Amino acid sequence: MEQATASESDTTGAEAHSNTLAPVIHTAIGKGKAVAAWRLPHTNEAHVAVSLQDSFTPTPPTLENSPFGFLFCPFQESEPAPNLFIKADLYISQATGKLTAAIDAPAPEVADFMQALELGSTTPQRSWHTSNAGVQQQSDLHFQDAVAAAVAAIKEEQMEKVVLSRNSILPLPLHLDLAAVFEQMCQKHSRAFVSVVSVPGVGTWAGASPEILVSINEQQVFHTVALAGTQPATESVADAIWRQKEIEEQAMVERYILLCFKSLRLREYTEIGPRTVVAGNLMHLRTDFKVDLKEVDFPSLGTDMLRLLHPTSAVCGLPKAPALQFILEHEGYDRSYYSGFLGPVNSKAGTHLFVNLRCMQLLKDKAIIYAGAGITAESDPVKEWMETQHKMVAMQRILQQF
Ligand SMILES: C=C(O[C@H]1C=CC=C(C(=O)O)[C@@H]1O)C(=O)O
């Protein structure tokens, strides 16, 4: 039997001609397989990976020795929301338009999939894998009360910052197609990491994230960011004026990343920023941290930083333990995969994990849109609620296209 290896180039020549990405997504769902589609920021090339395995759970997520696939992890691991790895048994990119099978992909399943693809998909609209978990939605007042409680706890010095979130449930348009949702997001969000993930028994998520968690590109450059502070986008980023509250909020995220480097005794990094960046209808403050792994001998940096960073102070808070405790006690709903992380691992372009933000979960006839806001001593409950409204606009606009 052939061994699984850790690179996207380990593929056999199993090809189906004239494929585009949409039929591959439809066939995967029709055949009950897990599928992920993604497009990296500032690139034109979309990718789709399909797993032909029955199990998707990695324990624990390691990056360096992983085969090529797509990692999908929740905010907090639980039975309905486990860490998932969609191994790329089948892979297609827009650049080649050819579906290829990994060298260790199960041959009968590959043949079966190719045949179904040739026959053409009859997948109806609004067809994707759905989760069995119930939907919880809190009232607007619940969110605002939680913010007020967080401000009080911060003033009592129980923590410095906590990120509180909420969800909003919308009916789904009848003519919604998952591949078309992906395409719309690619068109509308060129600066974001765009993805759709659909896993049997777990459900379907779509999003356009502005936040890199851990990325190692083909030149072996490690990259992470401190992203925080939000305001509506202005004509030009040069016009952005940031309040002290946002500057401090982002500085806390930066400080936590520096602490992670320090705990790994890593001093050879570059730091650029904070700069104003645009994310859809919004702007944020971002500092970029990079490490050249060709110059620094630290082969496990990706996995080590992932373990230390998640959940970052951009989605959890500072210090991490009391902020997490506060979230679990006060948010009043399960974040599931919102504010978890996701992305391709060991692809030709490297490993690119993003925080699952500006995202939605697709149920049979509803979408759940998620958003959060960083709470500090200066936070105002109504303004923070408005900020979450602004963050939900990205996904609302995608649904309005149908
Ligand atoms: C938690 C979210 O955003 C984070 C990322 C950027 C800015 C944020 C903020 O200003 O609060 C959040 O920390 C979200 O989009 O749901």
Q: Is 182 helix (H, G, I), strand (E, B) or coil?
A: helix
| Highest-scoring range by mean pLDDT, 10-14, 50-54, 265-269 | 265-269
* Cα 295 to averaged position of ligand 1 atoms, centre (Å): 33
* Contact predicate 201/270, CB 8 Å: no
pTM of this structure:
0.94
The two structure tokens encoding residue 35: 């599928």
Determine the residue of 163, 248, 388 to mutate for testing ligand 1's pocket, defined as the one with the most ligand atoms within 8 A of the Cβ atom: 163
Is the peptide bond preceding residue 274 cis, with omega within 30 degrees of 0?
Answer: yes
Q: Is the CB of 211 under 6 A from ligand 1?
A: yes
Is the peptide bond preceding residue 344 cis, with omega within 30 degrees of 0?
Answer: no
Predicted confidence (pLDDT) at residue 121 exceeds the cutoff of 70: no
The two structure tokens encoding residue 55: 């199990």
| Structural domain harbouring 85 | 1-402
Distance, CA of 277 to CA of 279 (rounded, Å): 7
pLDDT score for 16: 39
- What's the order of all strands across the beta sheet hosting 69-73? 84-87, 69-73, 341-345, 350-355, 212-217, 221-232, 282-292, 270-279
Q: Is the CB of 274 under 6 A from ligand 1?
A: no
Q: Which atom of ligand 1 is nearest to the CA of 313?
A: 13
Predicted confidence (pLDDT) at residue 224 exceeds the cutoff of 70: yes
Domains: count for the chain: 1
* Cα 47 to averaged position of ligand 1 atoms, centre (Å): 26
Distance, CA of 315 to CA of 313 (rounded, Å): 5
For ligand 1, atom 7: residue with the closest CA: 228
| Amino acid symbol at 42 | H
Predicted confidence (pLDDT) at residue 9 exceeds the cutoff of 80: no
Q: In this structure, what are the phi and psi dihedrals at residue 182, rounded to the nearest 5 degrees?
A: -60, -45
Distance, CA of 110 to CA of 235 (rounded, Å): 49
Predicted confidence (pLDDT) at residue 317 exceeds the cutoff of 50: yes
Q: Give tens-digit pLDDT for 331-385.
A: 999 999 999 999 999 999 999 999 999 999 999 999 999 999 999 999 999 999 9
Q: Give tens-digit pLDDT for 145-203.
A: 999 999 999 999 999 999 999 999 999 988 899 999 999 999 999 999 999 999 999 99
* Cα 358 to averaged position of ligand 1 atoms, centre (Å): 9
Distance, CA of 51 to CA of 88 (rounded, Å): 6
Q: Give tens-digit pLDDT for 236-259.
A: 888 899 999 999 999 999 999 999
* Contact predicate 57/130, CB 8 Å: no
Q: Is the CB of 253 under 6 A from ligand 1?
A: no
pLDDT score for 237: 86
Q: Is the CB of 314 under 6 A from ligand 1?
A: yes
Q: Is the CB of 212 under 6 A from ligand 1?
A: no
* Contact predicate 302/61, CB 8 Å: no
CATH for 280: 3.60.120.10
DSSP characters over 59-124: SS--STTPPSEEEEE-SS--SSS--EEEE-SEEEETTT---EEBTTS-HHHHHHHHHHHHH---PP
